[in-house]
Each structure stands twice: as structure tokens, then as C-alpha cells.
């Protein structure tokens, strides 16, 4: 499915643009007072927040005090309750002079002011078991058997058809043996059982011939022959800049590494037998800038492809992936006034796409309408179209609607920290936008691939009233996306500045 959008501008002008505009007009339009938060009759804390909506343009008083009504029709009020029953009178006057009232009766008892302590979510129970499994496409390893809403803490992806020895299982995870001294976890959905006849393949295997070459297709390649596919853990280090890949269940039987001339990304390759069944591959990189790598198998050859740097660090030379968060049945966060995150992200994705195209960039969108697109499908779309960099657009939510808000950026791999930082620093130049921080090692699915730099931009909070008013405004969305583009340009300038080539004259 190809998404090079040469017709994006035309689509924006026609029906899809009208669809996005409709997403900005779904707030409460009729009269009356709707309480979104704080309408319960018994509370455990003296500080009580009330969030509601009225028809946009109305005025609101609470207990006789004027309260700000945002353009979306949302309003908020923080009350300090007294012991016992508290009366809160809300009065709304609409544009036609009509008056609506709502009275809340809130009971507060200091003796129950502390919520019962909820036990921390612990690891799932693992029961010992023994079987052989085989990895499926898209499989990955976890460090432990814990989890949260984003899943367990991931180590890295694995290619398909790798046999693994299971030593334990919970409801959702297998504990697998990597080597005599290390284990990890894999979700059950990422593997399938195989027969005990595969047991013979679980013994340590020997490594064979190596080669290091320029593929002529934008990557340098390390190829290592093995007797069978084995699991691996890979990490990228920065000082010095290198990839370190541990192959589990492998014993070294390699006596030379053939390195061909013309390498652009790789300086040198070496190996170490760090344990009796762990072979470590160390790939020393030529450049300070990281532009992605991929690990896979071709037959029983382990392949590590290191991407060459772009011909020029310029948007006009790059293909940028633009991801509009959520869509279809996944609405994402819903604001007090009823705006849906999926509509705002799609609107901003189109704005960003248009701005990038005006800079000469090619663009690939993960979705172009209000449709369900899974994370696996999004990653496949970007992989098929060979993107050079990914920006995923989301809106945040949570916390106190009157105080918790702002913009933030997220990255998984440390090498892309400066990408997230460049975009965040530009977003914070917009008047009124607060900083919610920069988050590293983030377990978001689209941050996980190593094939290209990526960043998640949580533009503003759907749940915050100031943020809601601005994130649903088309002109403010344009301000945000303009700063995202400026952040990308600043990052590319930084890459140009820090990049120093160290390759010798013969290309080795």
C-alpha cells in the first residue's frame, strides 16, 4: 500500500478537509449545563474540581463568582470544601439571555480523606514449563514479566522462525532461555509451539564465514553464516559509536572476516566469545550521527544492515513518515467538550504533510481518513515506503484539567534524543504553551523500530481546558506544526554540524 502523497493538497481542498473541520465542531452546541467531572455526591478530598460544558459564548457563574468559559464551551472551577455537605450553584446565561441552573450537593468527610492504598501491580506468576516455540513475524523480547498500558519493557524485535526454549509461562508470556546465564520473556502472541523434534536445533551452533560489504542499496551489511537461526540482543552505543549484538546459543568457529572496499557506514567489525554460548558482534561505525539499522535473517545468515547517512541533511532530500494517532474505532482522548483526539491528529497530520511538501520533502501518511490502522500496519506502511524519519502526532490527556497540560516529545532510542529535544524546544516558543517534558526510553510501538529516527509529539492535552481550546483551533494547529517542521530543520542542521567523517582514503 503506497502512500507517497502527491495529491495531498487536492484531498485537503475536497471532502477530507471538510471531514477534519467537522472534528472541530463537535463540541456542545445546544443550551444547558453538562457536568463532565466533579458531579459525584461524596468525595474524599477537600480540594474539588468541577469541569463542565455549556454552549460556546455563554457566561457561567459558580456560587455567584464568574468563571471563565473557553471558546469550546468548557469551564472549570476548583472548590475548597468544608466538612459535611457543600452546595455548589452553577448558573449559565446563553447568548440569547436564557438562563439555566444546576445545583450540586457535595459531601466531604475528612475522616475518609485518604483513599485506601492500592497494591502496586506486580509481575505475573510464572509457572515452570518446558516446550519449544518458534518466533512469528513482528515478535519481540521483554526484559521482565511486568506490564503496563504500553505492554512490557521491550528489549528488541526478533526475526521470524527462531527456535526458543521455554522454561516457564504466565497467562500472557513465555520465559525463554537465551543462554546458560540469561533468560528473557516473549509474549505468547509472538510465537507458536513446535514439536519436540526441534529439540536437536536447540543445542549451541557454530558460526561460519563473515563478510562486510556495501550493498549498493543505501546500506552497509554484515553477514554471518550460522548452522541455524538463533536469538539475539542488540544495542547501539555512542562513545564510541558502535552496534553491539549478542548471539545466544552460538560458539565461534569463524577464523576470518572478509571486508570489502567502499564501506560508508562501517569502520570495522570484530567478535568476542563472551560466554561459552554467547558470541558478541561489535560493529564500529564511521559516523557520529545515527540513521538507523536493521537486523534480520536470510536463510541461516544473520544480516545487520546499517543505513548510509542521507546525501544531504535537508528535508528536500528526505522521505518523512507522518503518523496521525488513533483513528476509526480508536478515538483516543476525548476532551470535556467532546472533541476527539483522532480528529485533531488527522487534521494536524495533513497540515504537517502540506508544510513538509512545501519544503520539498516526500511524505508518507499512516492514515488519510478516519480508519482503523493497526500499529503493525503502520510500521509496514513506513517500511514498505522506505521512510528516512518518522513523526507521530498525538494529543495527551490526564491529570487535573485546570493545571496539568502542555506539550512533550518522546523517544525510545537514546541516539534520537536530540531529535525529540529540537522539536520540543521549538514548540515551547509558542506563547502560552507549557512544558510537560521530554521522555526517553518510551515504550510506544512506533518509537521502537531501529530502521530510522523517530519521535512522538504529544502536542497538547485534550483534558486541559486551555489546551483544549487551542488544540481544536485550526490556526493554532498550524502554529504547532510549523514549530515541528522548524524542529526537524534544526535537528538536520545539528546533524550537519556534528558529523565528521573518519573513513580512510581507501574506503575501509
pTM beyond cutoff 0.85: yes
Q: Which helix (H) or strand (E) holds 23?
A: helix 15-23
Of 201, 216, 241, which marks where a domain is finished?
A: 201
Domain that holds residue 297: 203-307
For residues 83 and 107, give the distance between their C-alpha atoms in angstroms, rounded to a whole number: 8
pLDDT tens digits, one per residue of 131-176: 999 999 999 999 999 887 788 899 999 999 999 999 999 989 999 9
Q: Answer whether residue 139 is part of any domain.
A: yes
The verdict on 283 and 350 lying in the same domain is no
Number of separate domains in the chain: 4
Do 301 and 183 share a structural domain? no
Vertex 66, ends 74 and 434: CA angle to 5°?
A: 50
The reported pLDDT for the residue numbered 28 is: 45
For residues 222 and 82, membership in a common domain is answered with no
Co-location of 444 and 355 in the same domain: yes
Residue 117 lies in a domain: no
On whether both 319 and 417 belong to a single domain, the answer is yes
In this structure, the answer to whether residues 354 and 468 fall within a common structural domain is yes
Residue 450 falls inside a structural domain: yes
**CB-count exposure of residue 322 (10 Å: 0-12, 13-18, 19+):** buried
Residue 31: band (very low, low, confident or very high) from pLDDT cuts 50, 70, 90: low
Q: Are residues 135 and 191 in the same domain?
A: yes
Q: Which of 239, 289, 266, 240 is nearest to 493 (CA)?
A: 289
Per-residue pLDDT tens over the stretch 49-108: 999 999 999 999 999 999 999 999 999 999 999 999 999 999 999 999 999 999 999 999
Q: Is residue 120 part of a domain?
A: no
pLDDT higher than 80, residue 6? no
Under DSSP, the state recorded for 200 is G
Task: Specify if 318 maps to a domain.
Answer: yes
Pick the last residue of a domain from 307, 336, 369. 307
Has residue 419 been placed in a domain? Answer: yes
Is there a contact between 316 and 361 (Cβ–Cβ < 8 Å)?
yes
Which one of 180, 201, 222 terminates a domain?
201
Give the 3-state secondary structure of residue 98: coil
In a domain, 256, yes or no: yes
Amino acid at each position: 500500500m503506497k502512500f507517497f502523497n502527491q495529491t495531498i493538497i487536492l484531498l485537503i481542498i475536497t471532502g477530507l478537509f471538510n471531514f477534519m473541520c467537522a472534528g472541530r465542531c463537535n463540541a456542545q452546541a445546544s443550551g444547558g449545563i453538562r457536568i463532565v467531572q466533579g458531579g459525584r455526591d461524596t468525595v474524599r478530598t477537600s480540594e474539588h474540581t468541577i469541569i463542565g460544558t455549556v454552549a460556546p459564548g455563554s457566561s457561567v457563574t459558580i456560587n455567584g463568582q464568574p468563571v471563565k468559559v473557553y471558546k469550546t464551551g468548557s469551564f472549570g472551577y476548583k472548590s475548597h470544601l468544608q466538612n459535611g455537605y457543600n452546595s455548589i450553584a452553577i448558573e449559565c446565561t446563553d447568548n440569547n439571555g436564557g438562563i439555566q441552573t444546576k445545583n450540586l450537593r457535595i459531601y466531604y468527610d475528612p475522616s475518609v480523606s485518604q483513599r485506601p492504598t492500592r497494591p502496586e501491580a506486580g509481575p505475573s506468576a510464572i509457572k515452570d514449563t518446558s516446550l519449544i516455540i518458534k518466533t512469528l513475524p513482528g515478535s519481540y523480547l521483554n526484559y521482565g514479566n511486568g506490564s503496563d498500558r504500553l505492554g512490557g519493557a521491550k528489549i528488541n524485535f526478533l526475526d521470524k522462525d527462531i527456535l526458543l526454549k521455554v522454561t516457564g509461562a504466565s497467562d500472557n508470556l513465555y520465559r525463554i532461555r537465551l543462554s546458560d546465564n540469561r533468560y528473557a520473556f516473549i509474549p505468547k502472541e509472538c510465537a507458536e509451539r513446535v514439536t519436540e523434534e526441534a529439540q536437536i536445533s536447540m543445542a549451541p551452533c557454530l558460526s561460519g564465514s563473515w563478510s562486510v560489504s556495501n550493498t549498493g542499496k543505501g546500506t552497509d551489511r554484515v553477514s554471518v553464516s550460522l548452522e541455524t537461526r538463533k536469538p539475539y540482543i542488540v544495542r547501539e552505543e555512542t562513545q564510541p559509536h558502535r552496534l553491539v549484538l549478542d548471539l545466544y546459543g552460538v560458539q565461534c568457529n569463524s577464523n576470518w572476516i572478509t571486508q570489502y572496499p567502499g564501506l560508508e557506514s562501517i569502520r570495522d567489525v570484530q567478535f568476542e566469545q563472551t560466554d561459552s554460548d554467547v558470541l558478541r558482534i561489535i560493529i564500529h561505525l564511521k559516523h557520529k550521527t545515527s540513521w538507523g539499522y536493521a537486523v534480520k535473517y536470510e536463510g541461516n545468515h544473520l544480516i545487520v544492515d546499517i543505513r548510509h547517512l542521507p546525501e544531504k541533511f535537508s528535508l528536500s532530500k528526505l522521505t518523512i513518515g507522518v503518523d496521525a494517532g488513533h483513528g476509526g474505532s480508536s478515538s483516543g482522548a476525548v476532551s470535556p467538550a467532546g472533541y476527539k483526539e483522532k480528529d485533531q491528529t488527522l487534521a494536524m497530520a495533513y497540515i504537517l504533510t502540506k508544510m513538509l511538501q512545501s519544503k520539498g520533502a516526500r511524505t508518507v501518511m499512516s492514515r488519510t481518513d478516519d480508519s482503523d490502522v493497526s500499529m503493525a500496519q503502520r510500521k509496514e506502511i513506513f517500511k514498505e515506503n522506505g521512510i528516512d524519519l518518522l513523526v507521530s502526532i498525538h494529543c495527551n490527556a490526564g491529570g487535573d484539567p485546570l493545571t496539568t497540560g502542555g506539550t512533550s516529545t518522546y523517544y525510545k532510542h537514546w541516539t534520537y534524543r536530540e531529535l525529540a529535544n529540537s522539536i520540543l524546544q521549538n514548540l515551547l516558543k509558542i506563547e502560552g504553551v507549557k512544558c510537560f517534558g521530554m521522555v526517553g526510553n518510551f515504550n510506544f510501538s512506533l518509537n521502537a523500530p531501529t530502521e530510522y529516527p523517530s519521535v512522538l509529539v504529544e502536542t497538547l492535552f485534550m483534558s486541559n481546558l486551555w489546551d483544549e481550546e487551542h488544540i481544536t483551533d485550526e490556526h493554532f494547529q498550524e502554529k504547532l506544526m510549523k514549530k515541528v517542521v522548524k524542529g526537524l530543520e534544526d535537528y538536520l542542521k545539528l546533524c550537519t554540524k556534528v558529523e565528521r567523517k573518519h573513513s580512510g582514503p581507501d574506503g575501509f
